């Protein structure tokens, strides 16, 4: 133990998350899928979507809103579109179940979409787009959340923190991956600032009166801001439309109404897209992939870093050294078991 940090192996992180979920009534397939993604988040030092999420998942289970055991059902609705109904359980088992169908369709059609419906969704999206890239495909993922984010120029929440993730497969390298909330920061980060009594930076949120705030609790009670002003606002709206209205599922505002103050994980849909470079490029595949590599080189050769480089470095480090977790968080999770 260093200061208030506890050193855990990745196996210990997985075991802690799994025990907390199982002992609160989650079925084993869901608990394993969730504990796995939480472990990946902690491993890559994405603290807002690592072990902290166990608290949110258990609160959601205890709210009675989430189905702890429903198994997803897969519906192929066209040659290029698969829908997976999560039946009001968490999203991750639905993703795992639908992924092979998405991959098969993308390889057959060149482009395919997977719409996950009726799912409670708490997780970072990079594990999912990385899984698509491991199949040699280009991946995109997006999802709404709860209406915590004000549109640019407004003061009241309309959008979710609506993450957008992208992965491009690279031979001999980790894929090119980015994954960001369309709000200035993930809400989980503001919650972590509130837990630690730390102020938040300028530009993250406004308070209930619509005034800029550095107080994490005032931010949680007020509204978050989009990243990049009107640009993040437009992307957030696009995600409400594509991963909400278009797939017949809830917007972030609808999801908040559905929650009805329970404080559970947001419940809505998710849209994933997969593109097959082999079909787009045909005999020019190698040339297209080399063109991409020249672009990556032009970024890194001037000292700029690629998105996910920090994560991949953390992944390599924590595989050996384990992770360092706030002791209060570990105690709070153990108290749930
Ligand atoms: P960050 O702002 O921390 O990071 C966003 C992206 O930018 C990452 O890919 C990151 O790579 C990259 N990046 C950061 N700094 C640089 C830099 N200097 N140069 C190049 N790239 C950089 O993420 P957010 O707070 O916006 O989101 C965090 C997570 O929260 C995401 O994984 C997202 O999926 C998740 N989330 C989930 C939601 C849900 O409803 N399920 C809702 C909202 C967010 P790196 O990681 O290597 O630093
Ligand atoms: O951190 O913004 C967030 C978030 C919302 C749902 C899951 N994570």
Residue ID of nearest Cα to ligand 1 atom 20: 307
Question: Helices 28-43 and 52-63 meet at what angle, rounded to 10?
Answer: 150
Length of the chain: 337
Q: How far is CA 227 from CA 165, 183, 230, 231, in A?
A: 15, 5, 8, 7
Beta strand spans in the chain (E): 5-8, 73-78, 81-85, 111-120, 138-142, 163-168, 176-181, 205-206, 223-224, 267-275, 323-326
Give the rounded distance of the alpha carbon of 218 from its chain centre.
24
Is the CB–ligand 2 distance for residue 268 below 6 Å? no
Distance 122 CA to ligand 2 centre (A): 6
Nearest to 146 by CA among 65, 33, 72, 209: 65
Instruction: For 117-148, write each residue's pLDDT tens digit.
Output: 999 999 999 999 999 999 999 999 999 999 99
- Full-model pTM: 0.97
Is the CB–ligand 2 distance for residue 188 below 6 Å? yes
Round the average pLDDT of the chain to a whole number and report it: 97
Q: How far apart are CA 316 and CA 156, in angstroms?
A: 41
Dihedral-angle region of residue 245 (phi above 0 means left; psi in -120 to 50 means alpha; beta otherwise): alpha
Q: How far apart are CA 91 and CA 159, in angstroms?
A: 20
Residue ID of nearest Cα to ligand 1 atom 16: 307
Q: Is 45 helix (H, G, I), strand (E, B) or coil?
A: coil
Q: Return the pLDDT at 223.
A: 98
Which residues 6+ apart lie within 8 Å of 303 measured at CB?
A: none
Please answer whether residues 322 and 8 qualify as being in contact, where contact means their C-beta atoms are separated by less than 8 angstroms.
Answer: yes
Is the CB–ligand 1 distance for residue 121 below 6 Å? yes
Q: How far apart are CA 86 and CA 65, in angstroms?
A: 13
- Residue 9 backbone phi and psi in degrees, to 5: -75, 165
Distance 226 CA to ligand 2 centre (A): 14
Q: Which residue among 41, 60, 120, 179 is best mutated to probe the pocket of ligand 1, counting the most ligand atoms within 8 A of its Cβ?
A: 179
Please answer whether residues 117 and 91 qualify as being in contact, where contact means their C-beta atoms are separated by less than 8 angstroms.
Answer: no
- Using the structure block, give the residue that is written with the tokens 């437009």: 234
Indicate if the pLDDT at residue 53 is higher than 70: yes
Is the CB–ligand 1 distance for residue 56 below 6 Å? no
Distance 181 CA to ligand 2 centre (A): 8
Distance 168 CA to ligand 2 centre (A): 24
Instruction: For 284-333, write each residue's pLDDT tens digit.
Output: 999 999 999 999 999 999 999 999 999 999 999 999 999 999 999 999 99
Q: Return the pLDDT at 305.
A: 97
- Residue 259 backbone phi and psi in degrees, to 5: -65, -35
Indicate if the pLDDT at residue 1 is higher than 70: no
- Residue 237 backbone phi and psi in degrees, to 5: -65, -40
Is the CB–ligand 2 distance for residue 125 below 6 Å? no
Q: What is the dihedral of CA 48, 49, 54, 57, to 10 degrees?
A: 110
Q: How far apart are CA 250 and CA 260, in angstroms?
A: 14
Indicate if the pLDDT at residue 2 is higher than 50: no
Average pLDDT over residues 87-102: 98
The residues assigned a catalytic role are: 48-49, 189
Q: Return the pLDDT at 87.
A: 98
Instruction: For 228-284, write each residue's pLDDT tens digit.
Output: 999 999 999 999 999 999 999 999 999 999 999 999 999 999 999 999 999 999 999
Q: Which residue among 34, 52, 186 is best mutated to probe the pocket of ligand 2, counting the most ligand atoms within 8 A of its Cβ?
A: 186
Cα atoms in the Cβ-side hemisphere of radius 13 Å centred on 219? 29
Dihedral-angle region of residue 239 (phi above 0 means left; psi in -120 to 50 means alpha; beta otherwise): alpha
Residue 129: exposure state from Cβ atoms within 10 A (0-12, 13-18, ≥19): buried
Cα atoms in the Cβ-side hemisphere of radius 13 Å centred on 278? 9
Please answer whether residues 288 and 136 qualify as being in contact, where contact means their C-beta atoms are separated by less than 8 angstroms.
Answer: no
Is the CB–ligand 1 distance for residue 324 below 6 Å? no
Is the CB–ligand 1 distance for residue 60 below 6 Å? no
Residue ID of nearest Cα to ligand 1 atom 36: 124
Q: Return the pLDDT at 3.
A: 56
- Residue 14 backbone phi and psi in degrees, to 5: -60, -45
Name the pLDDT band for 168 (thresholds 50, 70, 90): very high
């Amino acid at each position: 133990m260093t200061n208030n940090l506890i050193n855990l192996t990745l196996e210990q992180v997985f075991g802690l998350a799994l025990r907390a979920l199982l002992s609160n009534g989650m079925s084993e397939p869901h608990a394993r899928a969730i504990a796995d993604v939480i472990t990946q988040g902690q491993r890559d030092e994405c603290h807002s979507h690592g072990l902290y999420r166990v608290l949110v998942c258990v609160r959601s289970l205890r709210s009675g809103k989430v189905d702890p055991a429903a198994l997803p059902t897969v519906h192929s609705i066209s040659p290029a579109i698969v829908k997976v109904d999560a039946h009001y359980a968490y999203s991750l088992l639905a993703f795992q179940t639908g992924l092979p169908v998405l991959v098969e369709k993308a390889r057959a059609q060149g482009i395919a979409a997977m719409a996950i419906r009726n799912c409670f969704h708490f997780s970072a999206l990079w594990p999912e787009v990385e899984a698509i890239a491991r199949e040699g495909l280009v991946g995109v993922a997006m999802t709404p959340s709860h209406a915590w984010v004000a549109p640019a120029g407004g003061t009241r929440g309309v959008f979710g923190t609506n993450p957008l993730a992208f992965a491009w497969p690279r031979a001999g390298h980790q894929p090119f991956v980015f994954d960001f909330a369309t709000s200035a920061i993930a809400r989980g980060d503001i919650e972590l600032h509130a837990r630690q009594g730390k102020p938040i930076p300028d530009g993250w949120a406004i308070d209930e009166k619509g005034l800029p705030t550095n107080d994490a609790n005032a931010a949680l009670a007020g509204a978050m801001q989009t990243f990049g002003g009107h640009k993040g606002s437009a992307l957030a709206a696009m995600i409400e439309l594509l991963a909400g209205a278009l797939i017949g599922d809830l917007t972030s505002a609808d999801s908040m109404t559905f929650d009805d103050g329970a404080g559970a994980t947001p419940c809505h849909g998710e849209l994933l897209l997969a593109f097959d470079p082999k079909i787009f490029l045909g005999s020019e595949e190698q040339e297209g992939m080399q063109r991409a590599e020249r672009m990556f080189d032009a970024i890194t050769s001037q000292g700029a870093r690629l998105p996910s480089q920090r994560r991949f470095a953390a992944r390599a480090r924590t595989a050996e050294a384990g992770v360092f977790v706030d002791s209060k968080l570990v105690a709070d999770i153990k108290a749930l078991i």
